[in-house]
Homo-oligomer: A and B are copies of this chain.
Amino acid sequence: MKMIGIMAVGNELTSGMIQDTNSSFIARELGAEGWGVSGAVLVGDDEAGIARMLRYLMANSDAVIVTGGLGPTVDDITTEAVAKALGRDIFTDAAALAQLKAAFEAFNLAWTENNAKQAMFPAGADIIENTVGTAPGFIVIHDGIPVAVIPGVPREAERMLTDGVITRFRRELGTTGARTVRKTVKTFGLTESALADKLKGLEEAFPQAQIGYYPRFPENHIVITVKGSDAAALDETLSAAARWITERLGKYVFGYDDDTLEGVVAALLTERKLTLAVAESLTGGLITDRLTNVPGSSRFFERGVVVYSNRSKEELLSVPHEVLETKGAVSSEAARLMAEGVRTIAKTDIGVATTGIAGPAGGTAEKPVGLVYVAIADGRTTWCRQFQFRWERRRIKEITAQVAIEFVRRLLVGVDIGDGE
């Protein structure tokens, strides 16, 4: 397997001020091409350090990708450092310089001489155009090792990797045709160990696949990875393994790959021309925020109410004062009446509601922090379930919103929600 070294340059990275995300993006893209990562390194804005690490990576890799340090300021020294490491001079590319000046003019920015730096490259470099920013990137082939240098701005790095670097690397490294492909099965409602238990035999059934478990609170994702050169066979293995997993996990699987729970629910509601209204106490608007992230959500989402006060529960949802007095706002009675109330008042097909104690304060012996009720009403039946979550405030909100949206999905696909009345 061809192994590629990745180096991200910048003091903001080595000081921990900024989290480098380019390297993992690049690693994923390289993996898809069937190439591995020999090492991914962060180095500060230090010419000698960059040059030394570059030589190390070149000695241990078939190619190297460097990101960052191509801007106009004095601490942008990647080009100089790379030139020094390779023992090459630096030249100004007239065409790149003209293009740079034109871009400044187009954006009505004042040209300052320090920007000319961005048109300088090590001798022998092939320039990679930057269609989404100012600094171009470049590739130098040195002792047979291609070294690609692209900007650190993630949007620019991603574009230039895909448009410029990978194409060129294919030519230089040759394509074995070997690829790594992945499929993600997204689940909610089972712990990682319960998942592993239900999936016993998966590795044996698909020995050519590698299985990874990735908790993405509050979801658990299962990633199937296969490598090979026959694209159709790889796809077939991924599909078969995903089917195998889905059959064993049943209702706990809500989607695949780029699916989101709210996206799946939005598609189901839209397809069936059903409407939804939401009454949130504990989740405070998180459910409707997630639902309205889906483009076109106005087709199914009628309204939401965030009923933090008891008065708002009475006024907006017609929850009787006596229920709030005797059972409390955090009770299955209140949750049911909230779901039914928002559905009736909004005249929607489905109403969903949350109430609970998010903490850190406000808990009692009978109603501790993390006590949560989620209810859903469809006009015939109202379901309500009680939960006792641990974790802190934000996570309690997150898992409760997830449960509420999952209840809508379960209602729509016709699987068990819990006790209905």
Residues of A within 8 A of B (CB): 12-21, 23-29, 31, 36-44, 49, 52-53, 56, 60, 180, 212, 214, 223, 278, 280, 283-289, 291-293, 295-298, 301-309, 311-312, 315-316, 345-346, 358-362, 393-394, 397
* Additional A-B contact list (20), CB under 8 Å, known A283-B289, A306-B306: A14-B40, A15-B28, A16-B23, A17-B212, A18-B24, A19-B21, A23-B42, A37-B42, A37-B44, A284-B285, A284-B291, A285-B286, A285-B288, A292-B397, A293-B397, A295-B359, A295-B393, A302-B312, A305-B305, A315-B345
Docked CA distance A296–B360 (Å): 9
With a cutoff of 8 Å between Cβ atoms, the chain B residues found around residue A303 in the complex are: 305-309, 312, 316
User: How far apart are the CA atoms of A393 and B361 in the complex, in Å?
Assistant: 35
Known: A17-B223, A305-B304, A308-B303. A293 touches B214 (CB 8 A): no
Establish whether residues A292 and B306, one from each chain, have CB atoms under 8 Å apart when the complex forms.
yes
Contact in complex: A305, B316 (CB < 8 Å): yes
Q: A339 to B24, alpha carbons, bound, how many Å?
A: 44
A43 and B39 contact, CB distance less than 8 A: yes
- Inter-chain CA distance A37–B285, complex, in Å, is 42
Out of B284, B293, B362, name the residue touching A293 (CB < 8 Å).
Answer: B284
A301 → chain B closest CB, angstroms: 5
Residues of B within 8 A of A18 (CB): 24, 214
Most buried by B among A40, A296, A297, A306: A306
Indicate which residue in B60, B214, B284, B346 contacts A292 across the interface (CB closer than 8 Å).
Answer: B284
In the complex, the count of this chain's copies comes to: 2
* Cα(A28)–Cα(B288), bound, Å: 36
A287 CB contacts on chain B under 8 angstroms:
285
User: How far apart are A35's CB and chain B's nearest CB, in angstroms?
Assistant: 11
Task: Flag if B394 contacts A293 (CB, 8 Å).
Answer: yes
In the bound complex, residues from chain B placing their C-beta under 8 Å from that of A52 are 60
Nearest B residue to A44 via CB reads B37
Specify which chain B residues have a CB less than 8 angstroms from the CB of A15 in the assembled complex.
Answer: 27-28, 31, 37, 180
Instruction: Name A16's contact: one of B31, B283, B358, B397 (CB within 8 Å).
Output: B31
Give the interface centre of A27, A31, A307 by most chain B CB atoms within 10 Å.
A27
Given contacts A14-B27, A312-B346, A316-B316, contact A360 B285 (CB under 8 A): no
Residues on the B chain within 8 Å of A308, using CB:
292, 297-298, 301-304
Contact A288 B302 (CB under 8 A): no
Does B14 lie within 8 Å of A19, measured CB to CB?
no
**A23 partner residues in chain B, CB cutoff 8 A:** 16, 42
Residue of B nearest to A309 (CB): B302
CB neighbours (8 Å) of A180 from chain B are 15
Q: Which residues of the other chain, B, contact A286 by a CB distance below 8 angstroms?
A: 285, 289
Residue contact B41 to A39, C-beta cutoff 8 Å: yes
The residues of B that contact A293 with a CB separation of less than 8 Å are 284, 393-394, 397
A410 CB, min distance to chain B CBs, angstroms: 22
Report the separation of the CA atoms of residues A41 and B15 in the bound assembly, to the nearest whole angstrom.
14
Closest Cβ neighbor of A193 among chain B residues: B109
User: A315: nearest residue on chain B (CB-CB)?
Assistant: B345
For the complex of A and B, the 3 pairs showing the least CB-CB separation, nearest first, are: A284-B292, A285-B285, A16-B27
Complex: A38 Cα to B41 Cα, angstroms: 10
Closest Cβ neighbor of A296 among chain B residues:
B361
Q: Do the beta carbons of B361 and A295 come within 8 Å of each other?
A: yes
Q: Tell me the complex Cα distance, A139–B397, Å.
A: 39
- Residues in B whose Cβ lies below 8 Å from that of A25: 16
Instruction: Kindly report which residue of chain B lies nearest to residue A394, judged by CB atoms.
Output: B293
| A307→B43 CA distance, assembly (Å) | 49
A28 — which chain B residues lie within 8 A by C-beta? Answer: 15-17
Nearest opposing residue in chain B for A348, CB measure: B309
Pick the most buried of A12, A20, A40, A295: most chain B CB atoms within 10 A of its CB. Answer: A40
**Chain B residue at minimum C-beta to C-beta distance from A50:** B39
B295 touches A360 (CB 8 A): yes
Interface contact A284-B288, CB-CB below 8 Å: yes
Closest to A347 in B: B311
